[in-house]
Amino acid sequence: TFVVTEACIRCKYTDCVDVCPVDAFREGPNFLVIDPDECIDCAVCVPECPVSAIYAEEDVPADQQDYTPLNADLARVWKPITRTKEALPDAEAWREVTDKRAELER
Ligand code: SF4
Ligand code: F3S
């Protein structure tokens, strides 16, 4: 499966969702996740993300391994998002911030 990681938090550009052939993205207040039961590993979403937040599970950075189970957990409670929409208002200010874990809203 593919995994959305920390860079997405408080940015949520949503370019990724338009290209997914199986509508695997799920939306929270300031972050998206990929439903591992839906993702078919096509990889087309990866280059769409302006902040390179999406990784193949085996390539998730060592300090972000917890995002793999986090995507699976939140995918069970969040609703699908299938169309790109406006990024969050402060996305540009947050895109260079690297430590955003505490900002995640559920
Ligand atoms: Fe969708 Fe393909 Fe990205 Fe999986 S890898 S979330 S199937 S676009
Ligand atoms: Fe997040 Fe990147 Fe998609 S910021 S919403 S993973 S385009």
ipTM of the complex: 0.99
63 confidence band (pLDDT: 50, 70, 90) = very high
The ligand that comes nearest to the alpha carbon of residue 3 is: 1
Which strand (E) or helix (H) includes residue 54?
Answer: strand 54-56
The answer to whether the beta carbons of residues 51 and 87 sit under 8 Å apart is no
CB 34 within 8 A of CB 24: yes
Q: What is the pLDDT of residue 25?
A: 99
The residues spanned by each domain of the chain are 2-82
Q: What is the structure's pLDDT at 56?
A: 98
Distant-in-sequence, close-in-space partners of 100: CB < 8 Å, separation ≥ 6: 6, 7, 9, 10, 94
Look up the pTM and report it. 0.98
Ligand 1 pocket, 49 CB below 6 A?
A: no
Coil, strand or helix: which one is 101? helix
| Mean of all residue pLDDT scores within the chain | 98
24 in ligand 2 pocket by Cβ < 6 Å? no
Residue 32 Cα, ligand 2 centroid: separation in angstroms? Answer: 7
Query: How many percent of the chain have pLDDT more than 70?
Result: 100
The architecture of the domain spanning 2-82 is 2-Layer Sandwich (3.30)
Residue 40 zone, left/alpha/beta (φ > 0; ψ -120 to 50; rest)? alpha
DSSP H helix total and E strand total for the chain: 3, 5
